[in-house]
Amino acid sequence: MIERYTLPEMGALWSERNKFQKWLDVELAVCEVHAEMGTIPREAVEEIKRKAAFTVERIHEIERTTDHDVIAFTTALAESIGEAARFVHYGLTSSDVVDTANALLLRDSCDLLLQKTDALMEVLKRRAFEFRATPQVGRTHGVHAEPTSFGLTFALWFDEMRRNRARLERAREAVAVGKISGAVGAFAHLDPEVEERVCARLGLKAAPVSTQVIQRDIYAEYLSTLAVVASSLDKFALQVRHWQRTEVREAEEQFKKGQKGSSAMPHKRNPILSERICGMARLLRGYAVVGLEDVALWHERDISHSSAERVVLPDASIALDYMLAKTSSLVGTLVVYPERMLENLNATRGLVFSGQLLLALTRAGVSRERAYEWVQRSAMKTWDEGGDFRAHVLADADISSRLTREEVEQVFSLDGYMRNVGAVFARVFGEEAQS
């Protein structure tokens, strides 16, 4: 991932240095288990642990000759270790090291993503409670529908991120799987107990069965999970972009001092962060497709997946880490205009109360079909001829024959639309919603 979208902690996790360190962690764990089982001398393991060292530059230098990164890595280790290096990589194939190390990297990535998910959920909860009683027009098909609570939007997003958190937890469990089973997964040169002990030492589960590689449905699940989370963030950011449109202007991204919106138009304040989040979500969905394409490999293994994974595993992790952090900032500093929400709510001159009027007429004994016809008649008159919907309703002989003026006035009230918001909050937030 380019530096522009890389945050320090996740970037360090996926650095070349840390990747090779994880490879070394796996190699050392295997050596330790071999020593415990009497396969290699304990003194050799102590020497390996004491002397093992590498530099990224030296590994790359060797790889220019070997054209094989794991061999370059073990060769660089051998240069630092000396004679005892013959016990490094004992009985292993490259993917034993790479895939088990990947499990460590992906597991640790999930931990960072879960931390940022928790932070976003806290922001969403705060803003949900802040705007629980703020009325806003709800929209369906992009057209004004009925009044709703602005806070419900953030409650909805909170609940969605709670599901995403559960997905990330499941993905973390899925990827935390190692394999030390040899060239075709048949344990020809290793006892299966070595795999079990190595994985336990590294905090991983041992794959029940493998080929030369961990099966790529596991990585596909990880990448697909990240794509789902990114798509939720895309959804949130797209809504902010709508709110910031000049014709709507119910909320907008914070515009900091010194910020510029356009090189040509000094008045511009654009939703650039929301647009960035939406754009990056497209990357994550693309990475998920790559993960799915990597599931099918020839026989016990080919390396058609390898080149793609070198890009998509770090990039997807780094990109979503960035997106989560930026979405927290976006929502946390969002500038909200409740007065503009009321203006927009009133823009259709009362039409948003048509549903409440329909129900009032059915309670008064009018059939639903006839009540719908009467209400729609006044609504279409308001759309086509202008004027106020309430005035048209009061002037309608059919409606006034069934509802008193006071009953009509009650229809044009926000109370009916807002009275159960607290019940929804109780569902989402539990006891906190009662305070």
Number of H helices, E strands in the chain: 19, 6
Q: Which of 262, 304, 401, 413 is catalytic?
A: 262
161, burial (CB in 10 Å: exposed 0-12, middle 13-18, buried 19+): buried
- From the centroid of its chain, how far is CA 140? 25
Sequence length of the chain is 435
User: Which residues have a Cβ under 8 Å from the Cβ of 82 and sit 6 or more positions away?
Assistant: 47, 51
- Integer Cα distance of 96 and 29 in angstroms: 12
- Integer Cα distance of 59 and 281 in angstroms: 34
141 is catalytic: yes
Closest CA to 178 of 284, 106, 278, 71: 106
Give backbone dihedrals phi and psi of 385, rounded to 5 degrees, phi first. -110, -10
Q: Amino acid identity of 227? A: A
- Integer Cα distance of 393 and 193 in angstroms: 81
Structure tokens given for 44: 């050799």
The CB density around residue 348, as the number of other CB atoms within 10 Å, is 17
Torsion of CA 173, 175, 181, 185, to 10 degrees: 110
Say which DSSP state 3 is in.
Answer: G
Known catalytic residues? Answer: 141, 262
